[in-house]
Amino acid sequence: MGLSSFEKNLISKVEKEIPGVTPGLQIQVHQLGKKVCDVEIGQTYPYYDLASLTKVIFTTQIFMKAFEEKKWTLDSKVVDFCPWFKFPEVTLTECLNHSSGLAWWLPFFEIVDFKKTPQERWLSTQQMINESPIDQKDISVYSDVGFILLGHVLESMFQKPLIEIWGQLKEEVYPRTTLNFHPDNKACFETRLYAPTERSEWRHRLIQGEVHDDNTWSFGGVSSHAGLFGSIDDLGWYSLLKMTGAFIGAFFVIHFLKKIRFFYIRFQSFVLKFVGWLIAFICIWSALTYVQYDWKDDAEHPYAEAIQYENRLHESELVQQLEQTQLAAPVKAYILAQIALLHSPADENAAIPYVLTLVDAEENNPDFIQYGFSPSQLWAMQQQLYGKAITPTAQSVSPQFMQVQKWAGILQGVIISVFILNVILSLILYALSRYFLARTRRIEHNLKNVC
């Protein structure tokens, strides 16, 4: 629907290459803050095993935050946090850039005792890491073991299990995403919503909704090197570009402002420094949001014109083109419902029969998941028409939207409270200034009389 020439060309090239390689692909491209490409090719799913992206999204990110909090330095050794580690010369920096010399991989899942709890199995890796050889060189060799070791460092640094450390980071950096570990190897949503990875001879089943990495699976689904699940939207502009850019950019703003004497003196106070960081974060976030949503893009105008109609949905140019295609009925219903709801004003009466077709297809069509409909968009359509999610796929994302509404309410309350406090303080300061001005004038008058 409404594909650009770039997207059509990309799909054509990819479709020639993926047979026998992968059943499907999801591709997003962002340029200057705008999503310029968003295509799905072949069989796709709402959620995926993010595998080693866990190292970037979780482990590297939390170490950056800890570095800013001065919990470690570039010279910090692993033994500073894990005294049990027998190689005192290995630094955290070397583990992060894969130059520690530790083995690239070890089969922990073949050695751990599955009669023990997941946490006990995780802790048992300490001995296995110590028993493995180390070959320090001035080169980087990708190492899962190095990042597993960093997981133990994090637990020592924060005095919390990894899952709690992740929970804190997600709340601060990725609050509105579906990024999550699957503790005890239990999926957060319905298993059918996750892309299967392989049929495992070792686990004797199709791996779907549980982590593919055998070591992470043996730890109970949580590790510092793998284990996160999420959607392509979680990895797109919002979570890994806009949020990270605003979060890190605010620290750079504070760093440069401290070079100015006025700010240097005031930032000696942690409270004022935090307020400055918060203001910088909000400003950067607002600027990036403007770029994302409000920056004029003439190329989008044809799409807006294509979905508009005067009286009836079938007058739309896009609907007329759609009628000439051989798409499955649920796909057509999905597109028609979207067109009706995107119309200005929203044509809810026209959208209802098509949304009901989708509801019926989800209940009765076993191939419904293969169409790859976005759960968030299904939720939005049902919410707009019925005020609630009425199907399992839409209900799977309801907790995230409820959390967003909760935090939006809290933020609104905080903003109103701060505004009222500012008004009260302004009135008090104004009254004090008037009082001192009058007092100064009386003193000056009395001095003139004395003279």
pLDDT tens digits, one per residue of 37-87: 888 888 889 999 999 999 989 999 899 889 888 999 988 999 999 999 999
* The pTM of the whole model exceeds 0.95: no
Check the CA dihedral 307-312-313-314 and report its sign: negative
Write out the two tokens for 261.
């004497």
Q: Is residue 450 scored above 80 in pLDDT?
A: no
* Amino acid identity for residue 293 in this structure: Y
CA distance 382 to 388: 6
Residue 227 three-state SS: coil
Q: What is the dihedral of CA 73, 78, 83, 89, to 10 degrees?
A: -100
pLDDT of residue 302: 45
**229 close to 153: Cβ distance less than 8 angstroms:** no
Buried b / exposed e across 97-131, counting CB within 10 Å, b at 16+?
ebbbbbbeebebbeebeeeeebeebbebbeebbee
Q: Is residue 289 scored above 70 in pLDDT?
A: no
**400 close to 176: Cβ distance less than 8 angstroms:** yes
Give 27-71 as a 3 state SS string. Answer: EEEEECCEEEEEEEEECCCCEEECCCHHHHHHHHHHHHHHHHCCC
> Which helix (H) or strand (E) segment is 403 a member of?
helix 398-450
Q: What is the secondary structure of 135-189 as a DSSP string? A: ---SS----HHHHHHHHHHHHHHHTS-HHHHHHHHHHHH-TTS--B--GGG--SS
Q: How do residues 368-404 score in pLDDT, each as one tens digit?
A: 777 777 788 788 888 888 888 888 888 887 787 778 7
